[in-house]
Amino acid sequence: MSVPYITIGNVRIKRTAALAPMASVADRAYRYVCKDHGAAYMVSEMISAKGLCYSDRNTEELCTVTDHERPYALQLFGEDPEYIGKAAGMLMKYSPDIIDINMGCPVPKIVKSGAGSALMKDPEQIYRIVRAAVGSCGVPVTVKIRSGWDGEHINAVEAAKAAESAGASAVAVHARTRTQMYSGKADISVITAVKQSVSIPVIGNGDVVSAETARDMYEKTGCDLVMIGRGSYGRPFVFDEIDCFFEGREYAPPTDIERLDVMYHQAELSVGFFGEHTAMSRCRRQCAFYLRGMPDAACFRDRCSRLEKLSQLGQLIDEIKERLWISSERKKNT
């Protein structure tokens, strides 16, 4: 398979793999690392439309767009077309390439407000929300949806058609229902059905963890772009793997030492962006993902949960590297 580009509106995106928006995970440091390893397109963490309209400081901090991350979308969430429209217009001062609207988040707090995947219950409201956003900004508007609310209400096609008729330039489909949350197997036949029903680009999301599963998503669904979420946890290298696969280049998986170096680099970036206290709190969980599969990983993951300073992480990494070296020497002598 060659590696062409797709266009969303006037935005050109390499047809390899995009990083999914993930609240509290895909922050700027994580996005930088994934971009360095080949992520073709990225979306911000969720931005509250009402929070933005009410000038919430924490909300505005999510809106920064850096050239390093482009092509890049800012993602809004909310249930009210008026607020979505106003917020979409306000985001223009940050110069995003795309405005994305979250209609798939399954978190109870978001759903109870009528936003996120609760919108899958009301395609007419999806139409009104997208219409408001399209009329208020000068960039392409996209939506991210789920298969449906539950197994008895699989209506991604209806939702995608509503978004398209309202002027959406693309739709991303996470092939799980809201009640599945993040469990069970993604039903990618839903992505196929959406692709066959709309004329705008369709982004497939769900269970992509490697070059082979990315290929399968493309081939089985006909989607225009693949999006990876949890499959990238502690594995930004998956984007390198997919790049190499589609470009016909040999892929060399990272060594454990290389994984540790990238883990530290992400933590360094996080400290620079958010300050040490906030950064280390965020890094505790993410560092644990990088350590999966390494010798004595359980012990080191436990120590990750207590990290407070970047220097502590540096010391931990030195210990792990020494343990890896000892293990390697033992293998050589047996």
- Which pair of structure tokens corresponds to residue 194? 């959406």
- Which pair of structure tokens corresponds to residue 154? 């699989």
Alpha helix stretches (DSSP H) within the chain? 28-36, 49-53, 57-61, 81-90, 108-112, 123-134, 156-165, 189-197, 211-221, 237-247, 256-274, 276-290, 297-304, 310-332
- Give yes or no: 287 in active site: no
3-state secondary structure 181-221: CCCCCCCCHHHHHHHHHCCCCEEEECCCCCHHHHHHHHHHH
Residues 6+ apart with CB under 8 A from 87: 47, 49, 50, 52, 53, 76, 78
Asked if residue 257 lies in contact with residue 321, where contact means CB atoms within 8 angstroms, the answer is yes
- Helices 211-221 and 237-247: angle between axes, nearest 10 degrees: 60
- 125-74-246-269 Cα dihedral, nearest 10 degrees: -150
Phi, psi of 48 (to 5 degrees): -70, 125
Which one is catalytic: 105, 223, 283, 287?
Answer: 105
Residues with catalytic function? 105
